[in-house]
Amino acid sequence: MSPVEKSMRLQSLPRYLFAELERKRHEAESAGREVFDLSIGDPDLPTPGFILDRIEQHARDPRNHRYPTSAGMREARAGIAAWFQERFQAVVDPIQETAMLLGSKEGIGHFPLAVLNPGDEALVPDPGYPVYTAGVVFAGAKPVRFPLRESSGFVPDPRELDKLVTAHTRLVFVNYPNNPTGAVAPHSFYEELVAWAARRNLIVVSDAAYSELYYSEPPRSILSVPGARDRSIEFHSFSKTFNMTGWRIGFAVGAPSLVEALVQFKANVDSGAPQAIQLAAAEGLKSLGVHGPALRGVYRERRDLALDTLRRLGCPIRTPGGAFYLWGRVPEKETSMEFVTRVFDKTGVLLTPGTGFGAEGEGYFRIALTSSADSLRRALQKLETLAPWKAPHASPSPIAR
């Protein structure tokens, strides 16, 4: 027996579905085959110059060369509070109600460890971003999955969620604009969710990593709902908004007790985000009025290009309301994994099987719109030659909420 055995919590995480696809991808690349990777949600576009200039300037200031604080810099958090008020009409206290993060993933993954105990239960969306489950499992708590169904726009009904609540349920995760479905929640959703969570005395964790990537109405923050402030925490990211995945910077906004618990946890495991990056990112928010529409324009063009081809090929697919993903149906009689494997073997186009996001993702695949329009176009041409759906789908897809 190996002297090193993984912890039971690590071992109990859902199997890593992508290992086989990664192996195939590696094999194909080593054999000199061209791979069109539409699987990873990592923007191809560079971080804007106005942020890089600020990073450079702040990096040269020796005050930013020392340990940061776990909660983040006052100046950066003041910038976040100002943006929050302007963008969401929600007044937040920068010191008590915000914290800087090493990317929103870090906060989302750590938050359950700050508030859950072994035996507690947390409601997590299926399909959903896998980090919700991982954080809950690492905390020794139990993830209880709730389905996001296409028939209800991939938005849960609190009355359905209520059926899953037990004496052990402590919190619920929601994520809009949604990864992987691209759904945006209607305005009334947060009101209903918060009212229900208050009745059940639950914490609401809202993952708003894609809040600035939308195709029609700007999504709202859960913190703009009266009563949400007592029991909610919302996670935001600079990764998608400013093509900053590599810089690792995000923030949390929410109830003082929840933010404080997260910061106390973080103080034990990390020493905060690099200060030059905190400052530059927070200052970047002031340029969102110009940068945001341009960025959304890029994704809109890619989205429409891909939707047009996929629909022509007969793929049943909804128009996403936000984020940079397309969530389509695989051909009947094929599983998500079979479909994705076949497409990759025949064309070199790498898609994500829906089951990578939970059992409810069976029957779906995800495309990330994070490669250039040119390589997206070439990947779509490859799909056209394969025409995996064959018979065209008759009914037009409804517009996603």
Ligand X SMILES: Cc1ncc(COP(=O)(O)O)c(C=O)c1O
- Residues engaged in binding ligand X (CB under 6 A): 41, 103-105, 108, 129, 175, 179, 207, 209, 237, 239, 245, 250
CB of 202 to ligand X, least distance (A): 20
Tell me how crowded residue 280 is: count the other CB atoms within 10 A of its CB.
27
CB of 208 to ligand X, least distance (A): 8
Contacts of 260 (CB under 8 A, 6+ apart): 96
Q: What share of the chain is helix, strand, coil (3-state, %, to 5)?
A: 45, 15, 40
Give 175 or 278: the residue with its C-beta nearer to ligand X: 175
CB of 389 to ligand X, least distance (A): 26
Give 245 or 336: the residue with its C-beta nearer to ligand X: 245
Strands 349-350 and 232-237: unpaired
Segments in 270-330 forming alpha helices (H): 275-284, 288-312
Give 104 or 133: the residue with its C-beta nearer to ligand X: 104
Contact 350, 169 (CB under 8 A): no
Give the closest residue to 358 by CA, choosing from 13, 9, 111, 6.
13
Give 250 or 254: the residue with its C-beta nearer to ligand X: 250
CB of 135 to ligand X, least distance (A): 11
Contact 99, 259 (CB under 8 A): yes
CB of 108 to ligand X, least distance (A): 6
Give 107 or 348: the residue with its C-beta nearer to ligand X: 107
The residue behind tokens 């340029």 is 287
What is the phi/psi pair of residue 32, to 5°?
80, 10
CB of 321 to ligand X, least distance (A): 15
Give 87 or 105: the residue with its C-beta nearer to ligand X: 105
In angstroms, the CA 284 to CA 106 distance is 21
In angstroms, the CA 76 to CA 251 distance is 10
In angstroms, the CA 174 to CA 160 distance is 14
In angstroms, the CA 69 to CA 250 distance is 15
Give 190 or 389: the residue with its C-beta nearer to ligand X: 190
CB of 103 to ligand X, least distance (A): 3
